[in-house]
Amino acid sequence: MQLKHVLTICPYCGCGCGIYLEVLDGEIIRTIPSKTSPVNQGRLCIKGWSAHEFVVSPKRLKRPYLRKQEKLHEASWDEVLDFTASRLREIREKHGPDSIAFLASAKCTNEENYLLQKLARAAIGTNNIDHCARL
Amino acid sequence: MKETIIEKVKDLFEDSRIEAFLGLKEENGQIGPYLFTDPKDLEGFSLGDKEWPGDKRYPLSKILIALAQKYPENRFGILVRGCDERALNELFKWNQLNEEHVVMVGFPCPQELAEACECPKPYPESLVVGEKVKGIKSKKVEVILNMGMEGRLKYWTERFSRCIKCYGCRNVCPVCFCNECELANDDLIPSGEIPPENPIFHLVRAAHMAGRCIDCGLCEEACPVGIPLRTLYKKVADIVDSEFGYRPGYQKDQKSPFNILGERPED
Ligand code: SF4
Ligand code: SF4
Ligand code: SF4
């Protein structure tokens, strides 16, 4: 029997609410807002309250896939990265850098978001970068 | 007070009266729920007081339900204030927990918390330490009643209109345990609307708290927009008390009037 309350940060938006993930024998069963977190002081929005749900969602992608003819096919990281890079290069050469846009996410870290805008601006050459909170 | 409680918990482990103890623990300045399975672990044991008394309370009785469901044969100790004990009493009656497998370790709240909560019974029967402090009668209900019908309607409509439908009040509530929640029933409260239908959402919850709410105030503390939910449910409890002579959580043997199946009506 092991019940743990693991203190962490809500993965959804940039506020960074403190949450406890309730883990019963290795299975996450509930989110509880932290009362000591100065950010949310024991409160959450509906996304925060369900922050644990996507972890066990059967729809969650746990490995890389390539979509071919509307169908997802399992593939290796090398394959998907090569494919993405060559298609991005092709599109950029044919239609120019502004034909490509990047969508970052508040669920990622600052560093990951920084790297994505770097890829957009420095590697591709476009300012078309936005994030999920504006969708 | 805390030391005496820790000793009591150690005794429970030593006498093999419990296999685990559900309480609170402070780690790196953060207070959260904690399941103690080894008495050596009791360092950092917390009563949930940090900046002021009882400011870091969590719905321990609700957490115990999930635990006991998976481990129905085990016996659990649990840290209780007056309200936690009231919640457990209701959960026993509603067959969510088995009384014989739960050992309560109770402590009283200080007078200033009793006053902030307007709590009629700021201590549990299962007191292992401390003095019972005086119960407090609510004034907040009175203040709202004195606004008159129109004033009250305006007061509540305005407050309900702030609701962001986070379901925090329900999620944190120790006596909200239904498998299917009417607050998520599309026919009753259309989804995709914020604020949720005013005042239906709040009246549905208030009605469902009749005969159940044990007045712990965790809902109000969890409400991000500061709706005085506790005051609303205090009034609901007053109505149930005057109509049925029942206050949830106080009497162990008295069943909730909403938990009694009457005679089958004649066709
Ligand atoms: S409701 Fe009563 S028992 Fe619970 S924290 Fe407040 S004063 Fe204590
Ligand atoms: S005060 Fe709120 S959280 Fe506590 S039992 Fe009543 S409705 Fe539930
Ligand atoms: S906690 Fe407050 S905002 Fe959230 S659903 Fe309940 S009343 Fe609405």
Q: Where are the domains of chain B?
A: 2-117, 140-244
> Which has more confidence, B179 or B219?
B219
pLDDT value of residue B263: 79
Burial class (CB in 10 A: 0-12, 13-18, 19+), B50: middle
Interface check for B184 against chain A (CB to CB < 8 A): the answer is no
pLDDT value of residue B27: 94
CA A27 – CA B167 distance, rounded (Å): 22
Please say if the pLDDT value at position A84 is more than 80. Answer: yes
B246 phi, psi to nearest 5 deg: -135, 130
- The ligand with the least distance to the CA atom of B250 is 1
Mutation target among A36, A47, A52, A53 for the B interface, most CBs of B within 10 A: A36
Considering only CA atoms, which residue is closest to atom 2 of ligand 2?
B219
First to last CA, chain A: 43
Cβ–Cβ contacts within 10 Å for residue B105, how many? 24
pTM score, whole prediction: 0.90
Q: Nearest by CB to A34, which of B22, B32, B71?
A: B32
The arithmetic mean of pLDDT across residues A4-9, rounded, is: 96
Tell me if B64 CB under 6 Å of ligand 2: no
pLDDT value of residue A135: 56
| Res. B89 pLDDT band, cuts 50 70 90 | very high
The complex scores an ipTM of 0.93
B255-260 LR contacts (CB < 8 Å, sep 24+): B255/B93, B256/B90, B256/B93, B256/B94, B256/B211, B256/B212, B257/B211, B258/B210, B258/B211, B258/B212, B259/B93, B259/B94, B259/B211
3-state secondary structure of A5: strand
CA B246 – CA B130 distance, rounded (Å): 28
Beta strand A65-68 pairing with A102-104:
unpaired
The arithmetic mean of pLDDT across residues B42-66, rounded, is: 96
- Give per-residue pLDDT as tens, B92-122: 999 999 999 999 999 999 999 999 999 999 9
**Where does chain A show beta strands of DSSP type E?**
3-9, 18-24, 27-33, 65-68, 71-74, 102-104, 129-131
Residue B27, by phi and psi: left (phi above 0), alpha (psi -120 to 50) or beta? beta
Q: How far is ligand 1, taken at its centre, from the CA of residue B220, in Å?
A: 13
pLDDT value of residue A99: 98
Interface check for B223 against chain A (CB to CB < 8 A): the answer is yes
pLDDT value of residue A106: 79
Contact B67 A44 (CB under 8 A): no
CA B9 – CA A113 distance, rounded (Å): 48
Q: Nearest by CB to B168, which of A20, A35, A43?
A: A43
Q: How far is ligand 1, taken at its centre, from the CA of residue B52, in Å?
A: 13
- Measuring CA to CA, which residue among B2, B4, B46 is closest to residue B22? B46
Q: Token match 């109000």: residue?
A: B220
A65-74 LR contacts (CB < 8 Å, sep 24+): none
Mutation target among B62, B70, B176, B191 for the A interface, most CBs of A within 10 A: B70
Mutation to probe ligand 3, out of B158, B160, B162, B165 (largest number of atoms < 8 A from CB): B165
Please say if the pLDDT value at position A107 is more than 80. Answer: no
CA B18 – CA B37 distance, rounded (Å): 9
pLDDT value of residue A132: 79
Contact A7 B32 (CB under 8 A): yes
All domains of chain A, ordered by start, with CATH?
A: 3-49 (2.20.25.90), 62-95 (no CATH), 97-135 (no CATH)
Q: Token match 């004195």: residue?
A: B146
A58-63 LR contacts (CB < 8 Å, sep 24+): none
- Measuring CA to CA, which residue among A17, A100, A15, A22 is closest to residue A55? A22
Atom of ligand 1 nearest to the CA of B113: 7
